[in-house]
Structure 1
């Protein structure tokens, strides 16, 4: 058994993936580790790049996009490490980040998972841990109270925006961009739920870890840079439908059908707020991003009953 299995899922992010892999190999010198890349049917030359530049990587090639959960599960089944690090292809680790995170887990046997401090490329702090979603927090998000009062412990509860992210603490959810997981805990809890194609799979996994008594920690003493949206920024409407569809599935699975129906009402209200009063602004705007955002919420509202 090795110390660590680094698992990276890729979909058409060749340049990001190259930077990600280089950062892992350049900064992780004192651990026995393996790297497993799962490519979800990329057409941008990602597979060829991995074979040429990183021949030591174990490459799994899917014919199509199998989604985040299923692809990660493929690699986890093949992994041999005491720990499994789920790392986004658009995340780049800094010196000693992985080694110190593993040392933290070694010193906290009650920890099933740990996440690190994430930064945008310009150095700004990126939210990387959350509370479990509730109907109340979803309502706050829908009406914008989380953005109006980010320092409020009530309105900023979901994104934990009232907190400075500078101290070690137990949290509900860590972002899947850098998720260090104990292999023994995976054996007890099970793999990711593959009903989630993308989004909410890490929320569901964390919920199940906590349900089994494993603790989840935010460990800010180490950092990684996460670009964010590397493989989804081009498909806003599809992204939005999958985002909210996954959230509805999470509520249905863990809180019942009634909660899922109520969440649909909250999401529908959110859509109406975004496409109703501001419709003229969206439609008359010269910014294509703004117009795409409007169309995305229109589409979400149309398909919401089927989710």
Structure 2
């Protein structure tokens, strides 16, 4: 069974749509675990009344993404989980999502496997995994490199986000949980996958497992749309800031090969500061 951990804070309409999409799966061999970190919009009541099959854990509003996910993972592991998946609540799953997750997990039982992300509005693919080159400070996007006819099956990558991330138990046994101390909200997923890769686990993006996402709903997208001094500060320093300099620095020092750290940091700082202003 795949234990699916979904951290939530308000936005119950997204949580409901996500869980309803899971109910439509061709393979129902999964268990959903929702970690509600202090929602005030009736999320808890909705889950209790409409989704009694879901395990619900509660936080006090201070867990943020990483600690919420870790609480859900610990619960899953206590229940005997051999496969855990992290999933954001603002996504919907294609009907064969779980079926195709199992398909490739059987082929690569100790690999960490991500999902193909599709725009929920256009139904066009928008993310298929990345390969990072620390030396050149470049990120190669698999969707841009793979011909259309090859955009199926699994493809090797070097980092993955936490949306639809399938993780075998053996990975947690070897490297532990997500690093909530250094990365309380953003970057923890990329850090985790880099840590897993250094420990010898392969990373793949599963182009057959499709998620439908709403990119315009991300806090960082909204932050950039309404530019102001306050939002610029939040972008660089807030715990939910997409360009958080502290998180980026910690990620670099932990994951970038030492010879490339100075250039990678300088380039990254410039992109986060000036990129917000220009774009």
- Pair 1:272–1:78, CA change in 2 (3 A): closer
Which residue in 1 is equivalent to 2:253? Answer: 252
1:163 corresponds, among 116, 140, 146, to 146
SS in 1 for 2:84: strand
Misfit runs of 4+, over 4 Å: 233-236, 256-264
Which residue in 2 is equivalent to 1:72? Answer: 69
Q: Does 1:217 align with 2:204?
A: yes
Q: Does 1:18 align with 2:16?
A: yes
CA-to-partner distance for each residue in 1:4-23, whole Å, 9 max, x for gaps?
A: 11110112221010000111
User: Map of 1:234-253 to 2, 5 A cutoff?
Assistant: 234-235=222-223, 237=231, 238-241=234-237, 242-244=241-243, 245=245, 246-253=247-254
Q: Does 1:203 align with 2:183?
A: no
CA-to-partner distance for each residue in 1:184-217, whole Å, 9 max, x for gaps?
A: 2221121000121222111111111111111111
Q: Which 5+ residue runs of structure 1 have no aligned equivalent? A: 141-156, 279-292, 294-307
- Contact kept? 1:38, 1:60, Cα under 8 Å: yes
Decide which structure has the larger Cα Rg and report it.
1
User: What TM-score comes out, normalization by structure 2 length?
Assistant: 0.81
Query: Mean alpha-carbon deviation: is it higher for 253-262 or for 44-53?
Result: 253-262
TM superposition shift of 1:231: 5.6
User: What TM-score comes out, normalization by structure 1 length?
Assistant: 0.74
Q: CA RMSD in A?
A: 2.5
Q: Which 5+ residue runs of structure 2 have no aligned equivalent? A: 225-230
Q: Does 1:97 align with 2:97?
A: yes
Which residue in 2 is equivalent to 1:130? Answer: 130
- Contact kept? 1:120, 1:225, Cα under 8 Å: yes
